[in-house]
Amino acid sequence: MTVNQSHAGSSAQARAVVDGLEADVVTMNQATDIDLLASRGLVVADWTKRFPNNAAPNFSTMVYLVRKGNPKGVKDWGDLVKPGVAVVIPNPKTAGNGRYTYLAAWGYALKQKGGNESSAKAFVTALFKNVPVLDTGGRGATTTFAQRNIGDVLVTFENEVYLIQKELGADKVEIVYPSVSIRADNPVAIIERVVDKKGTRTVAKAYLDYLYSDEAQEIAAKYHYRPVSAAVSKKYASTFKSIPLFTVEEVFGSWAAAQKAHFADGDSFDQIYQK
């Protein structure tokens, strides 16, 4: 059997499937991308119940990549709003890691002493004032930081920073973990219309089931995706730095609520980012 793969930003891939890309399965980096497919009848409405762990076989979180020696002394979210610190983040309206970064910063601000919605909005507003360019996707943001040499810190997925560090060399950049961050689940789903048309439902389900196996969980861990298997997590405990993580549901109620309040046209992000 031939397996054809298509790789791009999660939100871009979701839009491609909506536009006709005949994927049997999708593996995304946030629930809203699969919710979009469900709203178009491509994925079942209760897709989170079709596979374990809310249909997310692994997860990541948001961390920092800084220039070697960390010349701006970036250690936590509060450092990202300091004068003179240029932060590279993709557009939260178009990129999953941009949304996760925005929500992670908002959640961090809420957790500070006296934190509330007003102080969180002020904090995230200050953060985006330090963003020199807003790329549409994570790959563009990486190019801005790594190849165009713009910015003091790149905020992106944990698995991505290790890949970038490997590409650039440990003598060029280093990884920094904040005091707290957000859990970024990587959900999966079957595209109903396609598997029914092609008769591939059985193999499609078998592939997604396999992602939960110890073998697949170990492969994910080797590429710096955090496994959901307790046994594999224990085996790779030294690979992943222990860091407090909060979920979108804990802080914002749900992905749908976060999307409506922060990323819909005219809502918080549009109010915050006025350049």
Which residues, in sequence order, are CB contacts of 254 under 8 Å at separation 6+? 248
In angstroms, the CA 72 to CA 54 distance is 39
- 60-183+246-272 homologous superfamily: Periplasmic binding protein-like II (3.40.190.10)
Q: Where are the domains of the chain?
A: 10-57+186-212, 60-183+246-272
Query: What pLDDT is attached to residue 6?
Result: 75
Closest CA to 182 of 105, 269, 260: 105
In angstroms, the CA 254 to CA 265 distance is 18
* Per-residue pLDDT tens listing for the chain (275 residues): 566 777 777 778 888 888 888 999 999 988 989 999 999 999 999 999 999 999 999 999 999 999 999 999 999 999 999 999 999 999 999 888 999 999 999 999 999 999 999 999 999 999 999 999 999 888 899 999 999 999 999 999 999 999 999 999 999 999 999 999 999 999 999 999 999 999 999 999 999 999 999 999 999 999 999 999 999 999 999 999 999 999 999 999 999 999 999 998 888 999 988 75
| Residue type, position 211, single letter | L
Query: What pLDDT is attached to residue 164?
Result: 93
Tokens of 265: 């046209």
The reported pTM is 0.92
Query: What pLDDT is attached to residue 69?
Result: 96
Query: What pLDDT is attached to residue 2?
Result: 62
Q: Is the domain covering 10-57+186-212 a CATH 3.30.390.10 domain?
A: no
Query: What pLDDT is attached to residue 150?
Result: 96
pLDDT tens per residue across span 217-250: 999 999 999 999 999 999 999 999 999 999 999 9
Do 10-57+186-212 and 60-183+246-272 agree at the fold level?
Answer: yes
Question: How many whole angstroms from its chain centre is CA 57?
Answer: 14
